[in-house]
Amino acid sequence: MNKYSPFWVVPYISNNIDIKLYKNWIFFSSLEVIEGISPLNDKGEDFYNILRREVSLYDNCLWIFNDSKFEEEEYAKLNIILKNSLETYLYSFISRPGIIIFYKNGGFTEQPPSFENFTTGVVENVTNEKIKRILKITDFIYQRELNHYLEIFEYLREIKKSKTFIRELALWSFVEQHWKSKEGEYIEKSLKNMKAFIFGEDYRNEFRRSFDENLKKFNFSISNKKGNVGEIRNSLAHGSFFKNKKNWNEDDWDLFFNIHNKLFDMILLGIEKEIFEVVN
């Protein structure tokens, strides 16, 4: 039976990864692939040129290879998990997998990756820590068949790609449902539960304090009163934010996006903790 070793390309990133290996994952830049350093050997330059006609590849793009050999269904499943986890953590996107096919007679052949019709205006920084987080989550979900968490990452990925106010409402709604301890609890209690789960009683945690302070500032700035998380969620749901955004100043927008980014990061920290500490 044939075996398959998949590989992927992530464009539109500032590649600051200086590790070459993490578990069964191997990383290369476009330049290294072109020079024949990757498992593609001299096919690397051909595949790079094929992809360059599809999207604007450049030397800092990240090529990710998995050194394992899979059955066809196994690598297809791994691809779905990696796509949803990576595109939840990053604003960029990942290619459809290329494949190195190993035949039972000892021969092998390579097939190039390809891209769906996605665009992004963001060139983001990808670090050693971030790529390790993505691949650790991918491995856990794949190896332990955590289909429930795959569904969560599919949902969070869709939120990540959504328009600003739709994305914000969906995030708060996710927190409210995922971290409520019993029926009838509202968003304030769910947010408190999430922070307690992640940070425990460490109320001096800088990330936690920064989020709480910015939330209070934002509430006061746009409503002239202390307000609460429930009011924010309701304003999003009823369209008040969209209607009143024309009155926001630059500081309001900065606070809005700062709160959004920190909330998304907290959600990911909470999901990671569930998977690595509770499920495991």
Q: pLDDT per residue over 47-94, tens digit each?
A: 999 888 877 777 778 999 999 999 999 999 999 999 999 999 998 889
Q: Are residues 80 and 197 in the same domain?
A: no
Q: Are residues 16 and 46 in the same domain?
A: yes
Q: Are residues 129 and 171 in the same domain?
A: no
Distances (CA, A) of 198 to 141, 230, 271, 272: 20, 21, 9, 10
pLDDT of 118 strictly over 70: no
Q: Are residues 134 and 218 in the same domain?
A: no
pLDDT at site 120: 60
Return the percentage of the chain with pLDDT > 90, whole number: 64
Is the separation of the CB atoms in 19 and 128 below 8 Å? yes
Q: Model's pTM, two decimal places?
A: 0.92
Query: What is the pLDDT of the chain when averaged over all its residues?
Result: 90
Q: How many domains does the chain have?
A: 2
Q: Are residues 54 and 176 in the same domain?
A: no
pLDDT at site 172: 93
Domain around 61: 3-141
pLDDT of 247 strictly over 90: no
pLDDT of 39 strictly over 70: yes
Q: Are residues 202 and 103 in the same domain?
A: no
pLDDT at site 226: 60
Q: pLDDT grade, residue 239 (50/70/90)?
A: confident
d(CA 133, CA 272): 9
